[in-house]
Amino acid sequence: MTPPITPPIAPPITLIERWRRVRDRLLCSPRFHRLATAFPLTRPIARRRARDLFDLCAGFVYTQVLFSCVRLKVFDQVAQQPLTVDELAVRIQLPVHGAERLVRAAIALRLLESRDGGRIGLGALGAALCGNPGVQAMVEHHALLYGDLADPLPLLRGERDHRALASYWAYADGNNPAALTTAQVAPYSALMSASQHFVATEILDAYPFSRHAQLLDVAGGEGTFAISAGRIAPALRLTVFDLPAVAERARANLAAAGMAERSTAVGGSFIDDALPEGADLITLIRVAYDHDDARVLALLKKIHAALPREGTLLIAEPMRSMTGDDPMADAYFGFYLLAMGRGRARSFAEFRDLLQAAGFTRIEPLRSRAPLLTSLITARR
């Protein structure tokens, strides 16, 4: 006779959980909403919630307004001098009614601004974008992401068919990445290089690179970060390791930056090949989040083996906050990496566990002024 199944014992409901359940019931009730909007003390909260909810519903439309401005180079057009809608329409080759609609939407989103004489100039957010070609390149490549996310449910169910973003990041499927051709790596390598400038400034301000003799930037792309590090630490020798077709581009860039003498670019795959030895500082920038835990752990072990005693690993990428209320890591990267087919953003604690398992000690977060761009962790061999 099979023994009777004992149902699992539910944990006791805490006072705070009881309150949350009451709150959920209230917030779901249309009557409560009507009362909250009518009562002067709760009205501002009700309005803010309604606004937040509307922004969530409209998010895709907002990004398409931004995408249109970037694709048509609207910000560049009005950056020199404000233009009338008619003048702008000619320059961006839209009919006046299309330009008018775009301009109104962009003004509402603070991308553009109405100026004297019925002209249009840069808004606060448009001005920030104008000086940042890296973000503009990111916005353009989002066309692939939104195509893939048109119906996210098959992705969430783990049903995969051909996805544009997975083809763009051609190494994502992990099948013989070292065989990728220049044509396959060029688009993502150029995007990474264009968006590297602000990340590099953040990292170089946060950590003293001139303390070290040799840097190895693992999966260092076209060498943009290594070149920036070489500029602020003139005695630092530089090695970039990346897939062969990418390393070739890094070699050319290092030479063009006048750093051929003190640098090398090594082609290989960190999945199959050992890493070059000799560096007392290894950087891993915007790499780990592309990969699952097993591969990250294997990579960290290789980095540990390549470092001398007391050698340092510096990890830099956007990370999850400990509170789990971070839209950038959990919503944006969560769905971006789902569409790409691999990887996840990690918290400091998750990295600490992986680093400890790989043999690292003295694992510490480093203060970052712009966690939206990157968080930082150092660890010692």
Ligand X SMILES: C[S@@+](CC[C@H](N)C(=O)[O-])C[C@H]1O[C@@H](n2cnc3c(N)ncnc32)[C@H](O)[C@@H]1O
Spatial distance between the Cα atoms of 355 and 277, rounded to a whole number of angstroms: 19
Name which of 75 and 225 has its Cβ closer to ligand X: 225
For residue 364, the cross-strand partners are 378
Element (H, E) at 352: helix 348-357
Spatial distance between the Cα atoms of 189 and 141, rounded to a whole number of angstroms: 12
Least distance in Å: CB of 202 to ligand X?
Answer: 11
The CA distances from residue 121 to 88, 98, 108, in Å, are 10, 17, 13
What tokens appear for 381 in the block? Answer: 């061999």
- Closest CB to ligand X among 144 and 285? 285
The dihedral through the CA atoms of 330, 332, 333, 338 has a sign that is positive
Residues that bind ligand X (CB under 6 A): 171, 177, 185, 189, 192, 196, 219-221, 225, 242-243, 246, 269-271, 285-287, 290
Looking from the CA of 304 toward its CB, the CA atoms found within 13 Å total 18
Report the distance separating Cα 56 and Cα 44, nearest Å.
18
CB 147, min distance to ligand X, A: 20
Q: Using the minimum distance from each CB to ligand X, give the nearer residue, 202 or 242.
A: 242
Measured between alpha carbons, how far is 138 from 248 in angstroms, rounded to an integer? Answer: 23
Which two three-digit tokens encode residue 70?
A: 């970037």
Using alpha carbons, list the distances in angstroms from residue 197 to 42, 75, 180, 183, 367.
44, 20, 25, 23, 19
How far is it, in rounded angstroms, from Cα 339 to Cα 16? 36
**Based on CB atoms, which residue is closest to ligand X, 112 or 279?**
279
Min dist. Cβ of residue 182 to ligand X (A): 12
Give the nearer residue to ligand X in terms of CB position, either 154 or 278. 278
Identify which of residues 113 and 222 has a Cβ nearer to ligand X in the complex: 222
Q: How many residues does the chain have?
A: 381
Task: Give min distance, CB of 195 to ligand X, in A.
Answer: 7
In the complex, least distance from residue 312 CB atom to ligand X, rounded to whole angstroms: 17
The single residue listed with the structure tokens 């989040």 is 289
Residue 70 burial by CB count (10 A; 0-12/13-18/19+): exposed, middle or buried? buried
Q: Give the nearest distance from C-beta 47 to ligand X in angstroms.
A: 40
Nearest distance from residue 61's CB to ligand X, in Å? 28
* Closest CB to ligand X among residues 36, 315: 315
Pairing of strands 375-380, 312-317: antiparallel
- Which CB atom, from 122 or from 265, has the smaller least distance to ligand X? 265
The residue among 212 and 286 lying less far from ligand X, judged by its C-beta, is 286
Could you count the other beta carbons within 10 Å of the beta carbon of residue 250? 30
Phi, psi (rounded to 5 degrees) for 330: -85, -35
CB of 270 to ligand X, least distance (A): 4
Give least dist CB 346 to ligand X, A. Answer: 15
